[in-house]
Amino acid sequence: MGCSSSADEKNQLSQTDTSSINALGNVEYYTYLLANELFAGAGPSRQSRYAVVGFVPVDTMKYSPEHQHPLMLLGHQLEQGMITEATKRGFSTQEFKLSDDIIVSDESDRILTRDIERLSNVERVDYYITGTLVYQESGAVVNARIVNARNKDIVAAATRFFPAELFWQEERVTTRNGKLYRTEGMR
């Protein structure tokens, strides 16, 4: 009886997971699926240290705040989401944006920084987790990889499509390649 109850709970969980995808937009779910593929053949080792770095557009290899695609913040979200996924799966992840001290300002108290002068020394990193984004009209193809820091070998890779609706359900006006586009919603 205990076994059938457990199976019923698993079925309910899987139904709940898929029903919440549309309700939330759920970039977390797509990140989870990408991580499943990426980490499928890689087992965590407490002796190895991982650093998750930014996911960037493949054409420029850098984040551009002027880029106005609906998924413009996807690279940042993937970086943060992969830190979570790697840690939950037992990988020892390094926070390389950590400062030596708490930074107090009028707006916030924080410990993370992009100011090179404030960064603490990074411990040894054995593997990098990173990726690229290929923007398309209806979303972005995300290519993720785990790279050996010493010999630059790619030890795992994964690809997944992320639909544009993950952040906004319906976009009325957007810019693409410097031009303004207006769309009418279907009713």
**At 79, phi and psi to the nearest 5?**
-60, -50
Q: Are 93 and 52 in contact (CB under 8 A)?
A: yes
Q: What is the pLDDT of residues 82-91, one digit of tens each?
A: 999 999 999 9
pLDDT at residue 139 is higher than 60: yes
**At 5, phi and psi to the nearest 5?**
-65, -40
Of 58-62, 78-82, 119-123, 172-176, the range with the lowest mean pLDDT is 172-176
Architecture of domain 22-182: 3-Layer(aba) Sandwich (3.40)
pLDDT at residue 138 is higher than 90: no
